[in-house]
Amino acid sequence: MISARAAVLLLLAVPAGLACGDEDGTADRFRDGYNQAIERLNEVNSSIQESGEALAAAPGDEIGREFDRIAETAARTRAELAELEPPEQAQEEFDELLAAVQEGIKDIRAAADAARTENQNRFNEAAERLSESGEDIAAAEQELKDAVESD
């Protein structure tokens, strides 16, 4: 059995949602689509937090399955986000967020694979990369919020 406590709690910095507005409604439509797309990630995050202790004590293959489920949810969410049209002034930041989420998905899958190996060192390394991805996602989302809210 591997110790997954830290990784379970740091899986992915789930975007919190955007709050913005503009005169022609472009930013509002983007915000609404964005918030709708990330709702599944928020639900997964809540589920992880509720079952964190139990999952942390689970066998590696069970942890791996949970990480796979999270990766699939994140991939679907990223696909939904990619279909949105951000306000013109936020396109670069939006692209950076999509890239950060893609990297996070890759790191979640690496953590799933590492958990299944029952190799604690490999899992710790994957969890560290995942934590860094979470920080990158949070930073990219903040930059997107700032760009969307600027006029």
Cβ(31)–Cβ(148) under 8 Å? yes
Task: Say how far apart CA 11 and CA 8 lie, in whole Å.
Answer: 5
Global pTM reads 0.81
What is the reported pLDDT for 16?
54
Task: Say how far apart CA 132 and CA 151 lie, in whole Å.
Answer: 31
Cβ(60)–Cβ(118) under 8 Å? yes
Mind listing the pLDDT tens digit for each residue in 39-89?
Answer: 877 777 666 666 666 777 788 899 899 889 889 988 999 999 999 999 999
Sequence-separated (6 or more) residues with CB below 8 Å from residue 118:
1, 2, 59, 60
| C-alpha Rg value of the chain to the nearest Å | 16
Encoded amino acid at 66, one letter: E
Mean pLDDT on 103-111: 92
Q: Of 61, 64, 49, which Cα lies nearest the Cα of 10?
A: 49
Share of the chain above pLDDT 90, in %: 36
What is the reported pLDDT for 38?
83
What is the reported pLDDT for 23?
55
Encoded amino acid at 43, one letter: E
Alpha-carbon separation of residue 141 from 80, 84, 112, 148 (angstroms): 16, 15, 24, 10
Task: Say how far apart CA 70 and CA 88 lie, in whole Å.
Answer: 31
Angle at 50 between CA 49 and CA 53, to 5 degrees: 80
What is the reported pLDDT for 5?
42
What is the reported pLDDT for 134?
85
Task: Say how far apart CA 133 and CA 113 lie, in whole Å.
Answer: 17
Residue 39 structure tokens:
């709702």
